[in-house]
Amino acid sequence: MRAIQVQEPGKLSIVEIEKPKISSPYDVLVQVQCVGICGSDVHIYHGSNPFTVYPRVIGHEVSGVVAELGEGVESLQVGDRVSLEPIEFCGTCYACRKGQQNVCESLQVFGVHKDGGMSEFVKAHEQKWHKVNKSISAEAAALIEPLTIGAQATFRGGIQPGDTVFIMGAGPTGIACLLMAKEAGAYVMISDFNTVRLEYATSIGADAVFQPDKEDIEEAIYKETKGELANVVIDAVGTAGTFEQAVRLASVAGTVVTLGFNETPSQIPSLLLTKKELKVVGSRLQTNQFQGVVKKVNKGMISPDELISHRFHYEKVAEAFKKLEEHPEEVRKIVLTF
Ligand SMILES: [Zn+2]
Ligand SMILES: [Zn+2]
């Protein structure tokens, strides 16, 4: 079968590899239909993902149709449309015992630590495949995973109906957070340097949008929240500066959620945390978010299609990467079709 492989940093090709075979009673083999391209795929391409080993078949935002089942599988049938939950964990370490399998000490992410979904077929345990209604498009099903990232940030932020939420960054992750925070009943503000991204955010329900290079964000948030500041601030940019600002912009009894992987230290006085009794929480990947998101997608309460801006046939993957790198402002999500 054919697969998209990063052989070494900077080298991306379509290769012929062996089609996976059912080898355990709970294996499910899926014929891939769509795969979203994520920032982390680009990082692997550039050699800037510390967890990956080359060569690597990339891709973790995957949908397809069940092609073959192990004899023990009961929850799925051949022909079902499914979306991949792309993480594997040990189940026994401290994180797993705490219910935070997403930070398991032996975490394996498809397309990062092990081969992923940009291939004609993918095999994974029954529990990693979530069935979606056939009325949901294959493209939409592939983008359930990025929505679960927004669902995780919403969960980690403890967002309640009526909360004011400020999301920094209106790229794909910020937009996923926006969709999920709105779905949770919050009043959502979002910022970005790019006007097109902000217009888009408004079109899908943002209550207020801000441009940090055109206005004083701290003043704008102060005004918009009548001096209370934001109950939950989600930093989807992740620079030293945005993290500092997130802490300043959080209200009393508020929560700051970080999604970035930046290694530059921020200067945050303990006074701000103590005085406002802030919670600062990280949000990485997701745990137990698929079921909730799939249910909402099946019911039509959220449409992952919202995230798609471009589509390419998988053989044109080089073109898709070029688009993403040269015009990131035009791209929300690119979906590859198989
Ligand atoms: Zn992703
Ligand atoms: Zn574990």
- The per-residue pLDDT for 261 is 87
Question: Stretch 107-111: mean pLDDT, rounded?
Answer: 97
Tell me the two tokens of residue 248. 């300043």
Measured in angstroms, how far is the CA atom of residue 285 from the centroid of ligand 2? 14
Percent of the chain with pLDDT over 90: 95
Question: Stretch 309-336: mean pLDDT, rounded?
Answer: 94
Measured in angstroms, how far is the CA atom of residue 89 from the centroid of ligand 2? 5
Those residues whose beta carbon sits under 5 angstroms from the ion ligand 2 are 89-90, 93, 96, 104
Measured in angstroms, how far is the CA atom of residue 174 from the centroid of ligand 1? 12
Q: What torsion do the CA atoms of 44, 168, 198, 85 make, to the nearest 10 degrees?
A: 50
Correct CATH for 148-282 of 3.40.50.720, 3.30.930.10, 3.40.50.300, 3.40.50.2000 = 3.40.50.720
- The per-residue pLDDT for 168 is 98
The number of the ligand nearest the C-alpha atom of 334 reads 1
Domain regions of the chain by residue span: 2-142+303-337, 148-282
The number of the ligand nearest the C-alpha atom of 307 reads 1
Measured in angstroms, how far is the CA atom of residue 252 from the centroid of ligand 2? 34
**pLDDT tens readout for residues 219-273:** 999 999 999 999 999 999 999 999 999 999 999 999 999 999 889 999 999 999 9
- The per-residue pLDDT for 50 is 86
Structure confidence at residue 216 as a pLDDT band (50, 70, 90): very high
Angle between helices 195-203 and 172-183 (to 10 degrees): 20
Q: What is the CATH number of domain 2-142+303-337?
A: 3.90.180.10
Question: Stretch 212-224: mean pLDDT, rounded?
Answer: 97
- The per-residue pLDDT for 283 is 98
Residue 29 clears pLDDT 90, i.e. is over it: yes
- The per-residue pLDDT for 305 is 86
Question: Stretch 100-114: mean pLDDT, rounded?
Answer: 97
Measured in angstroms, how far is the CA atom of residue 197 from the centroid of ligand 1? 19
Tell me the two tokens of residue 147. 């929505």
The number of the ligand nearest the C-alpha atom of 92 reads 2
The number of the ligand nearest the C-alpha atom of 94 reads 2
Residue with tokens 């910022």: 191
Assign 3-class secondary structure to the chain.
Answer: CEEEEEEECCEEEEEECCCCCCCCCCEEEEEEEEEEECHHHHHHHHCCCCCCCCCEECCCEEEEEEEEECCCCCCCCCCCEEEECCEECCCCCHHHHCCCHHHCCCCEEECCCECCCCECEEEEEHHHEEEECCCCCHHHHHCHHHHHHHHHHHHHCCCCCCCEEEEECCCHHHHHHHHHHHHCCCEEEEECCCHHHHHHHHHCCCCEEECCCCCCHHHHHHHHCCCCCEEEEEECCCCHHHHHHHHHHEEEEEEEEECCCCCCCCCCCHHHHHHHCCEEEECCCCCCCHHHHHHHHHCCCCCHHHHEEEEEEHHHHHHHHHHHHHCHHHCCEEEEEC
**pLDDT tens readout for residues 43-94:** 999 998 888 999 999 999 999 999 999 999 999 999 999 999 999 999 999 9
